[in-house]
């Protein structure tokens, strides 16, 4: 697939798609996420629908950026809470993924969000930073903040992820 603009200034060179499942056996979680940032995989389709993208990863940390727009409004004219929640779930989950070994997969088991300030199409680009709090063998807990360019807190959240063998994904 050809290049897709996720939102102005953020482009996915390989368009939209997902990571081949076989690559979960070949690369660690951190390596897979870095490969997304490096444009070696297409961006996940939801990145295009909701205008956000992964921009930084390191051990125990993942940062997304996103642009709220008119297409994310709820009927009352604010950006729907699901938009902020999606960015938070992404940063919370990927912070966990940065610590996974080759052959490990994971999923969100539960997460909690607080919306501290309204988001509007005028808010501009936001930054969502997820960090690991605890990593066990089968469960990991993370925390994340969503801030505007001035550093004002728009929302924050915590999450529990379940960790399991990547071979379990194939059965889905
Ligand atoms: C109202 C409250 C929840 C609580 O406020 P409090 O604890 O009493 O705190 P406080 O009043 O001190 O305000 C704190 C800061 O917020 C600012 N601000 C407040 N109100 C306004 C305003 N009207 N306009 C502009 N700014 C406003 C205020 O200036 C201050 O900022 P500052 O420190 O000066 O820079 C607030 O945290 C909030 O709006 N959170 C976001 C909630 C949210 O966006 N949820 C998701 C969307 S809902 C959804 O999608 C569901 C749905 C689906 C389908 C259909 C329908 C619905």
Centre of ligand 1 to C-alpha 87, Å, is 18
How far apart, in whole angstroms, are the C-alpha atoms of residue 65 and residue 123?
13
Question: What is the rounded distance in angstroms from the CA atom of residue 119 to the CA atom of residue 154?
Answer: 7
Q: Considering the chain, what is the average pLDDT of its residues?
A: 96
Integer distance in angstroms from the first to the last C-alpha of the chain? 25
**Under 8 Å CB-to-CB from 90, ≥6 apart: which residues?**
52, 54, 62, 64, 128, 130
For 84, the 3-state DSSP assignment is helix
**How many other CB atoms are there within 10 angstroms of residue 25's CB atom?**
12
| pLDDT-based confidence at residue 169 (cuts at 50, 70, 90) | confident
Ligand 1 midpoint to CA 153 (Å): 11
- What residues flank ligand 1, with Cβ below 6 Å? 74-76, 78, 80-81, 115-119, 152
Residue 10 CA, ligand 1 centroid: distance in Å: 28
Q: % helix / strand / coil in the chain, to the nearest 5?
A: 25, 40, 35
Q: How far is CA 42 from CA 16, 23, 47, 52, 56, in A?
A: 5, 14, 10, 14, 16
Rounded Cα–Cα distance for residues 63 and 130 (Å)? 6
pLDDT at 129 over 70: yes
Ligand 1 centroid to residue 84 C-alpha, Å: 13
- Find the mean pLDDT for residues 91-107: 97
pTM passes above 0.90: yes
Q: Which residues contact 21 (CB under 8 A, 6 or more apart)?
A: 166, 169, 170
Mean pLDDT of the 149-162 span: 98
Q: Please state, in angstroms and rounded to a whole number, the distance separating the CA atoms of residues 73 and 56.
A: 27
- ipTM for the predicted complex comes to 0.92
Q: Name the residue of 74, 84, 85, 117 whose CB sits within 8 Å of the most ligand 1 atoms, as the mutation to test its pocket.
A: 117
Over the stretch 20-56, which tens digit does the pLDDT of each residue have? 988 999 999 999 999 999 999 999 999 999 999 999 9
- Residue whose CA lies nearest to ligand 1 atom number 50: 80
Residue 140 pLDDT level (bands cut at 50, 70, 90)? very high
Mutate to test the pocket of ligand 1, among 50, 118, 152, 157 (most ligand atoms within 8 A of CB): 118
117 Cα to the center of ligand 1, angstroms: 4
């Amino acid at each position: 697939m050809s290049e897709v603009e996720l939102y102005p200034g953020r482009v996915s060179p390989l368009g939209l798609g997902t990571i081949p499942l076989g690559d979960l056996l070949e690369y660690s979680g951190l390596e897979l996420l870095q490969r997304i940032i490096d444009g070696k995989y297409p961006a996940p389709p939801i990145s295009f629908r909701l205008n956000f993208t992964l921009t930084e990863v390191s051990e125990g940390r993942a940062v997304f950026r996103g642009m709220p727009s008119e297409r994310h409004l709820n009927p009352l004219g604010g950006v729907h809470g699901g938009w902020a929640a999606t960015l938070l779930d992404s940063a919370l989950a990927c912070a966990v993924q940065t610590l996974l070994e080759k052959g490990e997969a994971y999923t969100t088991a539960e997460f909690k969000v607080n919306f501290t300030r309204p988001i509007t199409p005028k808010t501009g680009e936001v930054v969502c930073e997820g960090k690991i709090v605890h990593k066990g063998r089968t469960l990991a807990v993370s925390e994340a903040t969503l801030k505007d360019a001035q550093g004002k807190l728009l929302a924050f959240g915590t999450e529990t992820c379940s960790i399991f063998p990547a071979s379990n994904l194939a059965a889905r």
